[in-house]
């Protein structure tokens, strides 16, 4: 099938280099590269991290949760009437 596409400069440069290195046309190179991308395995699922005592941990976000933060939330959310 004949079609026209617009490639970013860096993509065109890479595809041209790939084609020249393999001694094939640009069209053949693009076909190979698209087929490789199509059959590539999915990205790996992030591994679960475990604490030193073996408990699974939530992914790190860069924020530190302090005891004071937890106590403040407990005080805000605790309603003794719900537990009577």
> What is the predicted pLDDT for the residue at 69?
86
> What is the predicted pLDDT for the residue at 53?
93
> What is the predicted pLDDT for the residue at 58?
79
- The two three-digit tokens of residue 37, written as one number: 């991308």
Contact 57, 49 (CB under 8 A): yes
> What is the predicted pLDDT for the residue at 27?
95
Domain contains 22: yes
Domain contains 66: no
Domain contains 30: yes
User: Domain count of the chain?
Assistant: 1
pLDDT, tens digit only, all 84 positions of the chain: 888 999 999 999 999 999 999 999 999 999 999 999 999 888 777 678 888 998 988 777 778 888 998 888 888 776 777 665
Contact 57, 50 (CB under 8 A): yes
- The two three-digit tokens of residue 26, written as one number: 């640009």
User: 35 lies in which domain range?
Assistant: 9-39
Domain contains 47: no
> What is the predicted pLDDT for the residue at 62?
78
Domain contains 48: no
């Amino acid at each position: 099938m004949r079609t026209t596409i617009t490639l970013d400069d860096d993509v065109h440069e890479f595809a041209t280099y790939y084609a020249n290195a393999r001694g094939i046309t640009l069209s053949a190179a693009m076909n190979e590269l698209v087929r490789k991308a199509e059959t590539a395995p999915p990205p790996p699922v992030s591994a679960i991290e475990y604490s030193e005592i073996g408990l699974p941990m939530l992914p790190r976000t860069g924020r530190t949760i302090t005891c004071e933060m937890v106590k403040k939330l407990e005080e805000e959310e605790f309603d003794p009437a719900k537990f009577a």
